[in-house]
């Protein structure tokens, strides 16, 4: 836990300093953030602080201090007492559509000797949630007791679970206030929010996937780039070596969007049935960075060789299978997924209104259509329909005609399927000339070089 609040500076005085653009002392900022976690700071004071930060920004040193304070506002996990024979590493993404990377990456890197305590989230806005996808699997429990979580990581190499209230509790309150005070779009606050939770996992190294394009969280390529640089620099300065990749989200990453459909795609990838798609391109690059950061490979070539062996031997798929079973899922899930994953009542192809070549996809619109089908939440308390979504989504550059559909829609009824089909057609722009996808891995930022 962070140091107890200092009596030397009242909360309103720290807010005044930030309002006036004055530097914030590290120990006073830490006390203020701990006061948020302890509920000694009011929502009004949080709102004033976040608005002052939104308007005036923060110095690099202040963002590091804010990140550390957020991390230390609750329980910070330790792994040294387990005598793990490998590094503790993780990855985080700003989210997207068809972004099932975590489901493949965690087991794959664990099969190479790393230990991956992956704490993930649910769908937010148009982006899919890793936990929602895993809950397509009957019995999967994303909230094990803390000691059980540690033991699964030790035994299986990876556990993908949800955040508990013990980790970075100050962030939950801060984010809730930001959401209703128009202060979400602040690079310092976003950086501290993401890293406060991730670094509380006690990592040796972190790799960040920051999306850019029509399905990205950040509104512009420039904002995505700024966030990637901020995260890599701040996390490294806070004590966790971090690399951030700027990756394309101008079309769905995998050729599917939804929950059960993405689990099906995950299994195909882990079995090595599809190794050359966009989703595997991003996953492989992130995995390479994780192995190098964790000192499990001394070069890109060595990392790729290790990853190829883990995939080709079936070791990555086996790790996924064991993780699912350890967290309450069926022991034979990976062998018999069709026996466990529910199917949508209506599965129909969606054809374009004319023949042509896919020139552009409004990825956010595809994500929102998936949400409207029931694959995400329009309200926080809404239930998710794991069966629905899109599969076999056409990619930029694909030729479409009456034999090649835009996608297949999975829906709960015919009316929902027809609405989703119309939304998908509107989200895809067709042309008559050859089209090419944007560069998949656009930039790499290493914290120790920034």
Q: What residues are labeled active site? A: 90-93, 130, 178, 193, 197-198
Nearest Cα residue to 97 out of 320, 376, 429: 376
Long-range CB contacts (within 8 A, 24+) of 141-145:
141/327, 141/328, 142/327, 144/327
> Are 115 and 89 within 8 A, CB to CB?
yes
Q: Residue 366 and residue 423: Cα distance in Å, rounded? A: 8
Q: Residue 340 and residue 177: Cα distance in Å, rounded? A: 40
Question: Residue 199 is encoded by which pair of tokens?
Answer: 């670094």
Residue 332's contacts (CB-CB under 8 Å, 6 or more residues apart) are: none
Residue 375's SS3 state is: helix
Nearest Cα residue to 344 out of 390, 306, 299, 383: 390
- Residue pointed to by tokens 């509920």: 39
Q: Residue 390 and residue 407: Cα distance in Å, rounded? A: 6
Instruction: Kindly give the pairing relationship between strand 428-431 and strand 346-350.
Output: unpaired
């Amino acid at each position: 836990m962070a140091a107890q609040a200092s009596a030397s500076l009242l909360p309103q005085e720290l807010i005044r300093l930030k309002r006036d653009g004055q530097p914030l002392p590290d120990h006073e900022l830490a006390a203020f953030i701990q006061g948020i976690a302890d509920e000694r700071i009011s929502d009004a004071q949080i709102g004033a602080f976040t608005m002052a930060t939104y308007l005036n920004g923060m110095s690099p040193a202040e963002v590091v201090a804010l990140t550390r304070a957020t991390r230390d506002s609750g329980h910070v996990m330790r792994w040294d007492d387990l005598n793990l024979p490998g590094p503790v590493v993780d990855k985080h993404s700003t989210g997207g559509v068809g972004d099932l990377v975590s489901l493949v990456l965690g087991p794959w890197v664990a099969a190479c000797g790393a230990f991956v305590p992956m704490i993930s989230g649910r769908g937010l806005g148009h982006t899919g949630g890793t936990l929602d996808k895993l809950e397509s699997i009957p019995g999967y429990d994303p909230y094990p007791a803390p000691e059980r979580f540690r033991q699964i990581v030790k035994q299986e190499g990876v556990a993908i679970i949800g955040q508990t209230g013990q980790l970075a509790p100050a962030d939950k309150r801060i984010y809730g206030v930001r959401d209703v005070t128009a202060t979400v779009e602040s690079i310092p606050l976003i950086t501290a929010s993401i890293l406060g939770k991730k670094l509380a996992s006690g990592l040796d190294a972190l790799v960040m996937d920051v999306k850019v394009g029509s399905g990205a969280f950040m509104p512009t390529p420039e904002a995505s780039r700024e966030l990637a640089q901020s995260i890599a620099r701040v996390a490294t300065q806070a004590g966790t070596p971090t690399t951030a990749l700027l990756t394309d989200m101008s079309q769905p990453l995998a050729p599917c969007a939804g929950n059960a459909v993405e689990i099906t795609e995950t299994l195909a990838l882990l079995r090595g049935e599809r190794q050359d798609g966009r989703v595997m391109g991003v996953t492989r690059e992130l995995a390479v960075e994780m192995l190098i950061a964790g000192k499990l490979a001394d070069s890109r070539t060595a990392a790729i060789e290790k990853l190829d062996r883990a995939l080709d031997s079936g070791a990555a798929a086996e790790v996924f299978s064991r993780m699912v079973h350890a967290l309450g899922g069926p022991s034979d899930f990976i062998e018999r997924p069709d026996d466990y994953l529910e199917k949508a009542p209506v599965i129909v192809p969606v054809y374009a209104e004319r023949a042509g070549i896919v020139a552009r996809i409004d990825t956010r619109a595809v994500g929102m259509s998936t949400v409207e089908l029931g694959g995400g939440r329009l309200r926080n308390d809404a239930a998710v329909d794991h069966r629905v979504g899109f599969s076999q989504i056409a990619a930029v550059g694909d030729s479409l005609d009456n034999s090649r559909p835009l996608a297949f829609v999975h829906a709960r009824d015919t009316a929902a399927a027809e609405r989703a089909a119309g939304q998908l057609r509107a989200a895809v722009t067709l042309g008559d000339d050859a089209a090419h996808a944007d560069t998949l891995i656009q930039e790499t930022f290493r914290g120790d070089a920034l």
